[in-house]
């Protein structure tokens, strides 16, 4: 097993990985940009090393700097988290070339599934159902593909994900504009403007299957997550089980997901994403060759620590269990708490958090990367935390999430907490009747509705925290005191400059 692992990421996911490493007795190394000198992941890690200015291309996306940081600190492995370099085949190969283990799949698997067009071809060859589609290298080629599969169509970036480079086109007259805009956005986001076309499945669910494989050819699935509540094609709420699923459907999707993973000799944690049509048909969408943001809900219902498993299989250990050994219990839901304003179209709301009270109590988990006094930077994704709950049934999980949301208080920045509060009181959502266009269909109700007042006791705690921060300023990290909590102060961070 490894003695030291570097986390090539920031924020809550870096904190999440550090915690599991500490449980495993593995030393952790954080990397940070100028904007993250006082970030929680820097304070919590055993060591931290500066890698550049705030711009991601000069810090968190700089392969040479990350590799150098690992070499300098003696880290034997690198966990990429999600985003940044997590699905970069060149980075995985650079780790291998430097003799550093990459906590993820091999570069060949990332490469095979990183290009959506290549992934589609691989899945078709493996007998995996895919959405009808085709190439769009030229406008004329796009028109031919659209005529063949029929409108409406979705123009999609061939590389990347996260909803970037996607445009819905309902009629041929709109195709040229949709292709141009998708190409432009894809070029800016991924450095590659190549796009392709897929048949638009109207009002589908976005359902994904978590897979896990080792280096000995064993691959299992850990059931599904419904990720249909999205804004701008980006997930906001996820849950398991899928409200529209049934054992036979999920078993079929799981079998297909395992087949897809084996088709590229996959090992580590990964996710096969599907579109689930209203008639029960499902189609391969893409594979994310990394840990997902929403992985906590899978951990809740299966009891399996996915970060631990990733580290284990990277070290060469076999899974040690088969598909029949994995049992799902109860239901789990996750809300992504963002520093953004739903009333302005979910625009980011960076700034300094003056007070922060996170929920607790039975079966409530908050994966956060912030603290009172922390700065939510405009340079990065504005995710504050991932709030998740577990309960024996979905109905009880919805009730528990309502209670947890009522206890969550953030001041100093705007967040999407009011949106979540309204969503968990919306009748169709509570009944499990939703699809990927749900937020757009209920904009007036979800984005401009009346806010529920914060519980007076919870607000009093938040104000007390804010006042304590004013009385006692957080000391600079360089002095070795985190200033966050006595527990964190016990784990002083040695910074390398």
Residues recognised as catalytic: 286
Cα–Cα distance, 60 to 381 (Å, whole number):
13
* Angle at which helices 116-125 and 107-114 cross, to 10°: 100
Nearby residues of 161 by Cβ (< 8 Å), 6 or more positions away: 286, 288
Q: How many CA atoms are closer than 13 Å to the CA of 460, on its beta-carbon side?
A: 3
Distance CA 144, CA 434 (A): 33
Number of H helices, E strands in the chain: 18, 24
Local structure of 285: helix, strand or coil: strand
Longest dimension (CA), the chain: 68
Of the candidates 457, 466, 464, 460, the one whose C-alpha atom is nearest the C-alpha of residue 355 is 466
Q: Reduced to 3 states, what is the DSSP secondary structure of residue 18?
A: helix
Tokens of 395: 């109905």
Q: Give the sign of the dihedral formed by CA 43, CA 49, CA 54, CA 55.
A: negative
Dihedral, CA of residue 422, residue 428, residue 430 and residue 432, to nearest 10:
-130
d(CA 128, CA 141): 25
Q: Distance between CA atoms of 433 and 33, rounded to whole angstroms? A: 43
Residue 219 is encoded by which pair of tokens? Answer: 């691959």
- Which residue do the tokens 């699905």 mark? 87
CA distance 440 to 69: 44
Helix residue ranges per DSSP H, 150-276: 175-190, 247-262
Alpha helices, DSSP H, located in 215-322: 247-262, 295-302, 306-314
Q: Which uninterrupted H or E stretch holds 227?
A: strand 219-231
Q: 346 in the Ramachandran plot: left (φ > 0), alpha (ψ -120 to 50) or beta?
A: left
| Cβ neighbour number for residue 393 with a 10 Å cutoff | 10
CA atoms of 330 and 312, how far apart (whole Å): 26
């Amino acid at each position: 097993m490894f003695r030291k692992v570097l986390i090539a990421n920031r924020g809550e996911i870096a904190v999440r990985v550090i915690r599991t490493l500490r449980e495993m007795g593995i030393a952790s190394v954080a990397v940070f940009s100028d904007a993250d000198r006082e970030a929680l992941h820097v304070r919590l890690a055993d060591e931290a090393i500066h890698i550049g200015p705030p711009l991601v291309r000069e810090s968190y996306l700089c392969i040479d700097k990350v590799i150098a940081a690992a070499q300098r600190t003696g880290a034997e492995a690198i966990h990429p988290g999600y985003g940044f370099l997590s699905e970069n085949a060149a980075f995985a190969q650079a780790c291998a070339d430097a003799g550093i283990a990459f906590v993820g799949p091999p570069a060949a698997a990332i490469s095979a599934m990183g290009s959506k067009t290549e992934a589609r071809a691989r899945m078709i060859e493996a007998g995996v159902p895919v959405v009808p589609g085709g190439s769009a290298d030229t406008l004329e080629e796009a028109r031919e593909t659209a005529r063949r599969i029929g409108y409406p169509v979705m123009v999609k970036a061939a590389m990347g994900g996260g909803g970037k480079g996607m445009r819905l086109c309902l009629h041929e007259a709109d195709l040229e504009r949709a292709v141009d805009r998708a190409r432009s956005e894809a070029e800016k986001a991924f450095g590659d403007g190549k796009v392709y076309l897929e048949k638009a499945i109207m009002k589908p669910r976005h359902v994904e299957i978590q897979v896990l494989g080792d280096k000995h050819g064993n691959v299992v699935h850990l059931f599904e997550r419904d990720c249909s509540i999205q804004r701008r094609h980006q997930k906001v709420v996820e849950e398991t089980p899928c409200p529209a699923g049934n054992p036979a459907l999920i078993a079929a999707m799981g079998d297909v997901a395992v087949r897809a993973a084996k088709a590229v000799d996959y090992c580590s944690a990964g996710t096969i994403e599907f579109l689930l049509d209203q008639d029960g048909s499902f189609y391969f969408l893409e594979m994310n060759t990394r840990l997902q943001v929403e992985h906590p809900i899978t951990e809740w219902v299966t009891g399996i620590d996915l970060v631990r498993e990733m580290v284990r299989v990277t070290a060469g250990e076999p899974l040690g269990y088969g598909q029949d050994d994995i049992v799902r219990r109860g239901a789990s839901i996750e809300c992504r708490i963002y520093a953004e304003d739903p009333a302005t179209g979910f625009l980011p709301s960076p700034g300094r958090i003056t007070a922060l009270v996170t929920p607790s109590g039975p079966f409530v988990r908050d994966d956060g990367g912030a603290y009172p006094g922390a700065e939510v930077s405009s340079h990065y994704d504005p995710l504050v935390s991932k709030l998740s709950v577990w309960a024996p049934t979905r109905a009880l999980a919805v009730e528990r999430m309502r209670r947890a949301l009522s206890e969550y208080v953030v001041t100093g920045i705007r967040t999407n907490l009011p949106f979540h509060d309204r969503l968990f009181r919306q009748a169709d959502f509570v009944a499990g009747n939703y699809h990927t266009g749900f937020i757009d269909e209920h904009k007036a109700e979800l984005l401009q509705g009346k806010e529920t007042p914060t519980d007076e006791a919870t607000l009093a705690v938040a104000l007390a925290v804010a006042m304590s921060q004013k009385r006692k300023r957080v000391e600079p990290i360089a002095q070795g005191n985190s200033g966050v909590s006595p527990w964190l102060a016990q784990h002083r961070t040695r910074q390398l400059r």
